[in-house]
């Protein structure tokens, strides 16, 4: 139970700060700490992300950061994608899913570091009009 509380709180903080739905921490936490299978961790994470996403969206919307048109388009298309993804995931072994998840996280991490390095050299205004130094 303590592990579940820690995973939930950490994922909530990460979601609020970085804008992720929590799955980045939910899946490894549920698989490694709680001991769920990779399939169970991924499926449980999908449900656990719902309240995190809702709460985060409400808070971010209060700051004017939510772009509804983009969210609606991505969300609607994701419904089709998740149906295909779930069907595919259930044909793969837990090991393949675990390695795939790890590779995805590594790829994303590399891209984020590369983008942050190039963004640090930019001096122009951000899209929201604030200066980059803020």
Domain ranges of the chain: 2-68+76-119
- Model confidence at 24, pLDDT cuts 50, 70, 90, reads confident
Highest mean pLDDT among 15-24, 109-118, 124-133: 109-118
DSSP helix, strand, coil percent of the chain (3-state; round to 5): 75, 0, 25
CB 49 within 8 A of CB 26: yes
DSSP structure class, residue 92: S
pLDDT tens-digit profile of 97-119?
999 999 999 998 899 899 988 87
Please give the model's pTM, rounded to 2 decimal places. 0.73
Tokens standing for residue 119? 């963004």
Percent share of the chain, pLDDT over 70: 88
Q: What is the dihedral of CA 79, 103, 28, 112, to 10 degrees?
A: -80
pLDDT tens-digit profile of 44-84?
999 998 888 888 889 999 999 999 999 999 999 999 999 99
What is d(CA 126, CA 113) in angstroms, rounded to the nearest whole number? 18
Neighbours of 25 (CB within 10 A): 21
Position 130 scores a pLDDT of 54
């Amino acid at each position: 139970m303590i592990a579940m509380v820690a995973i939930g709180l950490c994922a909530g903080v990460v979601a609020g700060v970085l804008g992720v739905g929590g799955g980045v921490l939910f899946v490894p936490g549920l698989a490694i700490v709680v001991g769920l299978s990779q399939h169970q961790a991924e499926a449980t994470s999908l449900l656990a992300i719902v309240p995190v996403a809702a709460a985060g969206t409400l808070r971010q919307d209060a700051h004017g950061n939510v772009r509804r048109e983009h969210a609606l388009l991505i969300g609607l298309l994701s419904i089709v994608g998740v149906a295909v993804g779930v069907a595919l995931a259930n044909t793969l072994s837990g090991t393949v899913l675990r390695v795939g998840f790890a590779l995805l996280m590594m790829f994303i991490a590399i891209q984020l570091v590369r983008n942050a390095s190039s963004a640090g050299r930019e001096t122009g205004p951000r899209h929201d009009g604030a200066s980059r130094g803020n």
